[in-house]
Amino acid sequence: MSNSRISRRQFISGGKKSKTYLDRLNPNWPTKEVAKLIRANFEKNPISHSIQKTEKTLPIIHVKNRTNSLQEIDWNLDAAKHLLNRTLSGPSYDEINTSFTSGLESTVQSLLEEQSLPEPPGIWVNEDLPNWNSLSTAERNEIIQSYYNRMNQFRRWWCERMMNESINITETMTLFWHHYFATGYSKVFYPQAMYHQQQVFRTHGLGNFKSLLRQITFGPAMIIWLDTGGSKKHAPNENFARELMELFTLGVNNYSQDDVVAASRAFTGYVTDGIQTNYDFETMEGWGYWWTDWHDFDEKTFFGQTGNWTGDDILNIILEQDECAKQICRRIYKWFVYDNVDESFISEMADVLRSNDYEIKPMMEFLLLSEHFHDPNFRGAAIQNPNQMMTGTIKRLNLQNQNFPTNFFPNLQDSMGMLLFEPPDVSGWLGYHSWINSNTIPMRKIVLSSLITGESPFGNFGTYLNLQTLSQSLYNPNDDGYPSEQVVRKLAFIFFGLPLTEAMEQQLQDILLNGAEPYDWNINLPSYNSQWNRMKDMLIHMFRLPEFQLS
């Protein structure tokens, strides 16, 4: 071994801590003890979903503004990667390459192509309500438990959709709408209602926002979630009316308390049993005594307009307000571009949305083709949400068919603060900086490492990781560099949002080679060769770098 290698090793290991540090690079870490500890801990202390909401901004960095001229976008591999990073769970090297080759417009087209509905997660999605009254306590508990299991099955099903997505935005868009119209299973209670809502996201997610809003508003999940059900004239419940305007349409301070009261009066008399509602989408009216007795048919003044408004009328008046399109675009922007919103660009997006009568697709197309979106300042500026970080990494490592332990996905979502179907509250996941704290950052690293080691806090699994195939798929004899160099560069390219620096490339290279020369590393060596253990070391090292969290 040469001296330079020793000093580099010391560099990586931070000097005095080198021994333990090397132990931890061993793929056998996390140890069983630690995994046990975490498991015990989860049993003891179920994660709370109470996440505080805050607004925050950053210093303004000047980004290119607005121009929608394609010629000015420098379409290269980096640009293709950025586009797919924002629209997929996690693009593989091949997907980035394919998109680059087919061009920006063609990629955006295929991203925004509407997909048919996937097979449902189980036949339970169409199941009727149980006749609760005729059941014993034991039978009721059994059903409640089965609902709980179904939700976990549903979570896994969704993760599988994400891991197996094509170059198409549907899964990300569906996740976005779930965040936008954040609804929690723990209150809604019926898995069927949650599935119904998800179908609406899938069907209308790239369609018309007006229909989407109506479908969600009068769907069973939202009627339960924000207490529309059972709200009666004379003493209406304000919960839905307020969040409808504050979060779903207009934004805080763009309506008055009188508007909240008027809207809450209009949203009376709508009920659901968890599956059916008393709302008729054809007539836009309710039915049954709930409607005749509970709905407030009297005059209301809402945004200065007086009439016998129903819930539909309120939605229509809201949709006439200029602020509505802006609020939608602001939330789209925060998810797809960056948390620090550029208001002048929001106005442009909102113009596109309004002039297309709230059709979502043209607005998304405008966004994804804009020079603003492609400004290099935004590259690597997104802190990956834990769900897509996991599903994306699994996808990039070709582990989609891995036998993950039961409830692996719900558990890892929960541990990193993003349990699907349990948003912290109606405003969805705060995201951005809130993903990263002293609790979640080590959890993110350990859960990612488990993909390599097969030992997770949520149960162990024999990992099917095939590094030989992965390396072969990354190596291209027409590209520069030895296979070892290409593997390092290309993995860093797909896993890191920011460019790989020279020092870090050297560091990763050193771990991979472990003293060997670059040309000694051979992608065709059999899977039992210890060379592949060094590659595992390197992958775990990558997962632990702050750079990995950004895409």
Partner 1 sequence: MKRREFIKSAFALSAFGTQIPIMALGRKNKLGRSVEWESDRIVVLIKLNGGNDGLNTIIPVQNDIYYNARPTLAISQNQALGIDDYNGFHPSLSAFHSLFQNEQMSLIHGVGYHQPNLSHFRSSDIWVTGSDANEYLQTGWIGRLLEQEYPDFPSNAPDHPLAIQFNSANLLEFKTSESNTGMMVFDPETMYYLINGNYIPGENDPALDTYGGLELDFIREVDLLSFEYAEVINETAAGGSNSIEYPETNLGYQMALTAQMISGGLQTPIYRIYQSGYDTHVDQGNTHNNLLSDLNNSISAFMQDLENQGLMDKVMIVTTSEFGRRYFENGSTGTDHGTAAPTMVFGNHLVPDLFGEQPSLSSLDQNNNLFIQHDFRQLYSSIITDWFGLDQNIANTVFGQEFESIPFIQTPLSIKQTPIPANFTMEPAFPNPFNPTTILSYTLPKNGNVTIRILDLRGRKIKTFRLGIKNAGKNKFILNGTQLASGTYIIQIDAIGSLLNQKITLLK
- Asked if the bond preceding 30 is cis, omega within 30° of 0, the reply is yes
Residue from the set 117, 135, 503, 516 that interacts with partner 1 by CB under 8 A: 503
Q: Which stretch binds partner 1 (CB under 8 A): 56-64, 141-149, 214-222, 395-403?
A: 56-64
Residues 313-342 close enough to bind partner 1 by CB under 8 A: 338, 340
Element (H, E) at 185: helix 185-188
Check if the beta carbon of residue 184 is closer than 8 Å to that of residue 225. yes
Total number of residues that touch partner 1 (CB under 8 A) = 95
Check binding of 65 to partner 1 (CB under 8 A). Answer: no
Residues 86, 267: Cα–Cα separation, whole Å: 36
The strand pair at 279-280 and 305-307 is best described as unpaired
- Shortest Cβ distance from residue 477 to partner 1 (Å)? 30
CA distances, 92 to each of 98, 157, 192, 435, 532 (Å): 10, 21, 33, 23, 20
Residues 378-397 close enough to bind partner 1 by CB under 8 A: 378-383
CB atoms within 10 A of CB 403: 10
- Shortest Cβ distance from residue 334 to partner 1 (Å)? 13
Nearest of 184, 189, 254, 181 to residue 217 by alpha carbon: 181
The position carrying tokens 């793929």 is: 27
Residues 160-199 close enough to bind partner 1 by CB under 8 A: none
Residue from the set 51, 77, 125, 341 that interacts with partner 1 by CB under 8 A: 51
Check binding of 47 to partner 1 (CB under 8 A). Answer: yes
Residues 34, 460: Cα–Cα separation, whole Å: 12
Residues 237-296 close enough to bind partner 1 by CB under 8 A: 237-239, 242, 246, 252-253, 257-258, 260, 268
368 Cβ contact list (under 8 Å, min separation 6): 83, 87, 108, 111, 112
Check binding of 544 to partner 1 (CB under 8 A). Answer: yes
- Residue nearer to partner 1 on the CB measure, 77 or 443: 443
Q: Which stretch binds partner 1 (CB under 8 A): 12-20, 121-129, 324-332, 348-356?
A: 12-20
For partner 1, what does the binding mask look like between residues 117 and 136, x meaning CB under 8 A?
--------------------
- Residue nearer to partner 1 on the CB measure, 44 or 136: 44
Q: How far apart are the first and last CA of the chain?
A: 36
SS3 142: helix
Residues 432-471 close enough to bind partner 1 by CB under 8 A: 433-443, 445-446, 449
Check binding of 8 to partner 1 (CB under 8 A). Answer: yes
- Shortest Cβ distance from residue 328 to partner 1 (Å)? 17
Residue from the set 1, 123, 138, 235 that interacts with partner 1 by CB under 8 A: 235
Residues 104, 107: Cα–Cα separation, whole Å: 5
